[in-house]
Amino acid sequence: MFRTFGIPGSRRSRALAAPALLLALVLGATACDGDDTTSGKAAPGSGPSSSSAAGKVTVSPAAGRSVAPGTRVSVTAESGTLGKVTVTPKGRSSDGVDPVEVTGRLAADRRTWTSDRTMTPGTAYTVTVTATDTSGKQATTTSGFRTTAAGKVNGVTVTPLNNAVVGVGLPVSLAFDKPVADKAAVERSLSLTTTPAVKGSWGWLTDPLTGVQRVDWRPDAYWPSGTKVTLTALLSGIDTGGGRFLRRDIHDTFSIGTARVSYADLARHTMRVTENGRTVRNVKISGGSSAFPTWNGTMVVMAKQSTVRMTSSSVDIATSKDSADFYDEDVHNAVRITTSGTFVHAAPWNDRYMGRQNKSHGCIGLSDTDAKWFFDRAVRGDVVVSTGSTRAVVDKGNGYGEWNLSADQWHALSALA
């Protein structure tokens, strides 16, 4: 799921490619024209007002208009009251996307209705209004308009995917193909529900190596095991900046599994693996050497791969076979914990150093037996806490390094803070 899977203990990495099953949220650029469907006394395209036997109803945008996806739809009963109002798409969008139905709110006096979200670009919409006049007579008015297509688009990769069971450290993450200028508009479209209730916040990050920008929802503390999470992202039609639009909504559910947290002590050359607060195994390790130390701090399992080719040249450590730091290895049972290429993996070439000395290029090496055991248990979202290294704490955007911030520091990264 990554373009490059780092080197043993790499300090640098290649760009992070989109995960498998990524949700394609980009929008094609196409021309459009207005929809002129209207019923009532007003002529199509003649203005915003439509009349019915139950009294005059004003619909905006006017019939036949072509409007931006962020335009608000409003309906007003100039006499009497409004009943049901629907704003529904007619077929697919101009680039083949299934468009969203537009929701809205009816005022307490039932005289006005206003939409509360953006619309899918390049889509014909029909507004259907039921109104009742002061004598109790009811009638229906319809009107049509079209949203303009987007000249530029943005895409989103969501983690985790639907119905996944993940570890207690995995945030909800939306990574964008292009940087988002209007972060507040995006964040306002996001909502999260959990059972049981869990406190947390959205925060904005940029990976220091790949430049990928994302917005994550991180709990204040690790997720409780068994939590059910539902994400609703009403993204279709949002301008992320400079006329670059998102085109699809996201609805995602997942749950939290075993609380698996591993504690790697680089000074003592050991790692203690816990599940639901109970130690299940102590293993000997060999971490990054003094020249290539392992990151300190809290990291989260991003992915795992049974075999990964790791080369020193891919991270500019050594390109010549004559260098003492040159390597080109098929590494087995590799569990990735940073974008920059830190893994927990089998390192049989360092068996004599396990539990005694740090000799890797930054990864956490285990024996074949221990690495296979760890690999088989690991799931995305498990936590690895590294201490005792001479290296700095991993950056908050390097993988899911946000756990190295306090809850208050994390909340401050919200665009709505």
Give the residue numbers annotated as catalytic, written as ranges. Answer: 345, 363
Residue with tokens 């490059």: 4
**Which tokens is 361 given?**
């290029």
Q: Are strands 383-387 and 55-60 parallel, antiparallel or unpaired?
A: unpaired
Kindly report the backbone phi and psi dihedral angles of residue 107, in degrees, each rounded to the nearest multiple of 5, phi listed first.
-65, 160
**Which tokens is 362 given?**
């930054």
Task: List beta partners, residue 4.
Answer: none
Q: Are strands 364-366 and 343-346 parallel, antiparallel or unpaired?
A: parallel
Q: Pick from 367, 371, 345: which is nearest to 356 by CA?
A: 367
Distance from C-alpha of 355 to C-alpha of 411, rounded to nearest angstrom: 39
Distance from C-alpha of 78 to C-alpha of 356, rounded to nearest angstrom: 83
